[in-house]
Structure 1
């Protein structure tokens, strides 16, 4: 005869008591899987809370570090800005000094240009045969040679000097069949003056002379000077360029 036994189910008993005098003991039977589920759910909640707080701590630490780095970057940028402003101020000072120097140089260049212009005008004036070719008083007759070339004939007293009508270079010193000697002066601007006289020659060929330099000394009373001018190798009347006063 076989006895069938009854398999007893494992149930957990929860006992609830009270501190009251008339408190009664209560018992609750809970299935194991329900209790395990509750415990698991509590563990999950506790783990989530712990993870949340740990994550928040890391987040706050990261944000704090990032803020510190940003502050350091801002401080570095402010320092660079201050350095750049200082450099800009220095450069502006140098620019002001350079502008002052440029102004001085510009004024100097302007003055130099004006001086060079004045000197150029003076040199041009000195190379134009405008001056009278004799010192002292003299009579003058304007005529022409047999070949038609115009000539001015001056009669001067003894001791008078024949002078260069303009600055230039002596290119010819020759004997002259009619006047004794002749001196040719090239003025470097297309003009050449020719002096023909019986006086004593005071210059040599190749010598540079300035306006008013002595070319002859009249040694006789009523000494003669034949004076001619060419422009671009063409004879012109000396009175076209000679300044006559008195």
Structure 2
């Protein structure tokens, strides 16, 4: 009985070892019954298996990534919706505040306009009252007599048709006060001087602050002092039986003017 040595047996088995192969069949369901076969050897089968595994792994990772991305996007979308809701609520609150502020602003503007209007009217009224256009006596008195005062003369010159073109001196009007009347300021201002007067006894002058100075000459005792602030109608002299004559003059920008050109005769 012959025996085969071990090395020869190994060579024999390697020579007769069957190579593994795989056959894939695709059978068509059509009536022609076409069958397609794909033969793959062992290496090709392993490569295909690894490829399918790698694709499945990639697909699984992609699905997980997509799910996480979608979840994050949903969370971001929900957060954005909440922010939009908060912003809309804040915008509504701001709109209400703006409407309230606008309403308040309109009221303030209206009040400011009214105040400015009142201040302007008050300023215009003050300017008007500062012009010595009032009547220098209370009550009803006869119309004044035109005269001139020459500082170098000892008497006042009353104007007549005969001397009105030749008489010289500063314009002056003479009033005769009625019983119970008093001498008053013809406009708002400040007492500039209270002095004696050789022709009338006393002089009270008022600076009206606008270029006008009104001058009141009378024998009575003045009831005001230098520096006093007076308004139109304030008392300057109390008229009695001995001081019914008033000499009234007006200066405008340091020049004497006819008082009747400034006075409101209706007083």
TM-score, normalized by the shorter chain, greater than 0.5: yes
Structure 1 position 59 matched with structure 2 position 80: no
Structure 1 position 100 matched with structure 2 position 121: no
The correspondence for 1:86, drawn from 86, 89, 107, is 89
Give 1:155 shift. Answer: 1.5
Q: TM-score, normalization: structure 1?
A: 0.83
SS in 1 for 2:132: coil
Structure 1 position 140 matched with structure 2 position 144: yes
SS in 2 for 1:200: coil
**Counterpart-to-counterpart distance in 2, 1:76 and 1:132:** 83
Per-residue CA deviation, residues 118-168 of structure 1 (Å, 9 max, x unaligned), is 111221121111111012213411122225211001122354211000111
- CA-based RMSD of the aligned residues comes to 2.2
**Counterpart-to-counterpart distance in 2, 1:192 and 1:228:** 8
**Counterpart-to-counterpart distance in 2, 1:200 and 1:43:** 139
CA contact (8 A) 2:192 2:227 kept: yes
The correspondence for 1:12, drawn from 14, 17, 40, is 17
**Counterpart-to-counterpart distance in 2, 1:13 and 1:68:** 54
Per-residue CA deviation, residues 178-222 of structure 1 (Å, 9 max, x unaligned), is 000010011111111000001221111111111111101222267
Q: TM-score, normalization: structure 2?
A: 0.77
**Counterpart-to-counterpart distance in 2, 1:89 and 1:101:** 18
Give the 4+ runs in structure 1 shifted more than 4 A.
6-9
The correspondence for 2:116, drawn from 97, 113, 116, is 113
1:30 match: none
- How many residues align? The count is 220
**Counterpart-to-counterpart distance in 2, 1:191 and 1:221:** 29
**Counterpart-to-counterpart distance in 2, 1:103 and 1:92:** 16
CA contact (8 A) 1:129 1:193 kept: yes
1:27 match: none
User: Relative to structure 1, is the Cα distance of residues 43 and 204 closer, same or farther in structure 2, using a 3 angstrom cutoff?
Assistant: same
The correspondence for 1:127, drawn from 122, 127, 130, is 130
Q: Which runs of 5+ in 2 are unaligned?
A: 1-7, 20-39, 152-168
SS in 1 for 2:199: coil
Per-residue CA deviation, residues 50-102 of structure 1 (Å, 9 max, x unaligned), is 11111111111111111111111111111111111111111111110110011
The correspondence for 2:43, drawn from 40, 45, 50, is 40
